[in-house]
Amino acid sequence: MSHVLPFEERPYRRGVGAVLFNKEGLVFGAQRIDTKQAAWQFPQGGIDDNERPKEALRRELKEEIGTDKAEIIGKSREWLSYDLPPEIADKVWKGRYRGQTQRWFALRFTGSDADIDLEATHAEFSTWQWLPFIQMPDLIVPFKRPLYLQLVDEFRHLVE
């Protein structure tokens, strides 16, 4: 049996996240496929070994929404972290991590809605829509809400 560290001693998994703005100033939000509760979120994912954050960002966009037609217009000042609830952390990533620490990027979408394909590789989302940025903290799972409030604070100037 593998040894699992106590929750508080586990490291954070490194990842990236994308706040994707359309030309109207709305953001891409998608409903997670693996939960019954309303859990709208931004595209995000892990950074592979020997991968730079911007490379991971492009890869994750292609994997999760089928396109990377976007230009970077901002980056979070620091890495932002969240803890998973312990009961979830014990199931995902085989209990190796307590949560994620992520570099977030703001991007301007340069494609058309037809470019978005949620089933491009492995479907993580059931549906998507363009939403007001300030609504996203209310739509995300509660344990990620503080991080999403930080994102609104940090990137709000891009739509005001």
How many residues can be counted in the chain? Answer: 160
Q: Are 37 and 141 in contact (CB under 8 A)?
A: yes
Mean pLDDT computed over every residue of the chain: 94
Residue-range domain boundaries for the chain: 7-158
CATH topology assigned to domain 7-158: Nucleoside Triphosphate Pyrophosphohydrolase (3.90.79)
Which pTM value belongs to this model?
0.93
- pLDDT 10s digits, 98-142: 999 999 999 999 999 999 999 888 788 999 999 999 999 999 999
> pLDDT-based confidence at 1, cuts 50/70/90?
very low
Backbone angles phi, psi at 44, to 5 degrees: -160, 165
